[in-house]
Every structure is written in C-alpha cells, then in structure tokens.
Amino acid sequence: MSAPVLITGVAKRIGFFLAKSLREQGLEVIGTYRSHSRSLAELETLGVQLYHCDFYVSEQLTGLIDALQRNHPALRGIIHNASDWLGEEQSDLVPEQIMERMMRVHAYAPYQLNLALADSLRNCPEGLANIIHITDFSVDKGSKHHIAYAASKAASENLSLSFSRLLAPDVKVNSIAPSLILFNAHDNDGYREHTLGKALLPREPGGAEVLHAVNYLMESAYVTGRTLHLDGGRHLK
C-alpha cells in the first residue's frame, strides 16, 4: 500500500472535495475533522481513514499526533486545510480569545504536525513528500474585519518558508493562497455580485481550482517554499 496523504478539516467544503478527489485519483487519504457531518460517511465509503480532532483542545492534538505516528510510519503529504473564520465584529469572544483560536488552528496545529510527522514524510516510498498550507488572499492585504484570521494565515504561510528549509531536500513545502473559491448557500445575490466584482476573472472557480494546484505541487520535483495565488487577478483590481 502506498503512503497516504493527510488532509485536515475534511468534513465540508474544500477539505471534503480534496479528500474525495484525491481518493478517487487512487491516493490513500487520511482525514481529520472537528465536527460530525453526513459527508464523512461518504468519505469512509471511499476508504478515507478518519480521525476526530478539535485543534482547539491541546490534548486532542497530542492524541492525534500519537495515533498518526503509531499507525502511519510513512506519509506522502500533509495538506493543512482545517480553518476557522472569526471576525472581531462578529464574535462574542474578546480579542485575546479570537487571536488565540485563530493561531491555534492556522499556525500552532500545523507547526506541531509538521515537526512530529517529519520522519513519516521522509519515509515516503514514492519519493519527494509534500506539505501544503492552505492560506488566504488576505495574507498580502490584511483584513479590517478579520484581523486575527489574516495574521494567523500569514503565520501559516511563513511556516512554509521555514519548513521548506528545514525539511529539504526530502520534503517540499508550499502554500496555496485562495480568495473566493466557493460561495456558501446562504450568500445572497448582492454579496455574490459584490465579491465577484473584486476579481479580474469574476467567477466562482470551485474546488477543482484548488485540486489543480494541489496536484501541481505534489507532482512537481522543483517547487518548494512558494505560494500559489488563486485569486482571479484580484490583486490587480
């Protein structure tokens, strides 16, 4: 059996799409999830091995790492997709709590996983292993409504730089920085029109766009320490 790819946050949206698509491409896939979802049953049917873990709970992250080290001595890759989106004005938490939660899920958990699973990645029988951090368009521009979120995603992107140096030449480490990928079902027409208008390519690209980027990075033998921007030219508007 080939070494699996670990994807965090597979219960919905991009994480679910990536886990399903990579499994359908023939890769072995491990997924983590924080909350139960009906989509998880579909992933299990496809053969995705699932681990429950709330990254906000240190003991659960430690337990996950122990289980992964014990059960998966070799890994083909890690895709850090798990995310949360707390805004300073929309949350009942105080700013200190918001920053702590954002850093935990976007920086601390990936940092711990990368360090703990480095040997498993080096043991990849398929050759070069991969770490991919899913960051955000806001890393380069900031966000006045999601300050802690943007800062924590910037920390995640910086992890790619440091780990690419630490783990070379056995492991490639890169980031993917999307802006709009998928609308939510509750997004109204006005919001959709306003958001699409921010890009030179005014469209909802869907999960396939992220999958293309993941496949490119995993198949490349000469890209590390880089960020792929999936923003439809939004930086030029």
- Residues marked active site are found at 149
Q: Edge-to-edge strand order for the sheet containing 77-80?
A: 49-52, 29-33, 5-7, 77-80, 129-134, 171-178, 227-230
Any residues with CB less than 8 A from the CB of 15 and at least 6 apart, and which? 7, 8, 9, 31, 81, 82
Cross-strand bridge partners of residue 171: 129
CA atoms within 13 A on the CB side of 134: 25
Taking every pair of C-alpha atoms in the chain, what is the biggest distance, in angstroms? 50
Distance of CA 215 to the CA centre of its chain: 14
3-state secondary structure of 32: strand
CA atoms within 13 A on the CB side of 174: 23
Contact 137, 91 (CB under 8 A): no
Q: Tell which residue, 44, 29, 48, 38, has the closest CA to residue 11.
A: 38
Tokens in use for 236?
Answer: 């030029």
Determine the Cα–Cα distance for residues 8 and 50; give it in Å rounded to an integer.
10
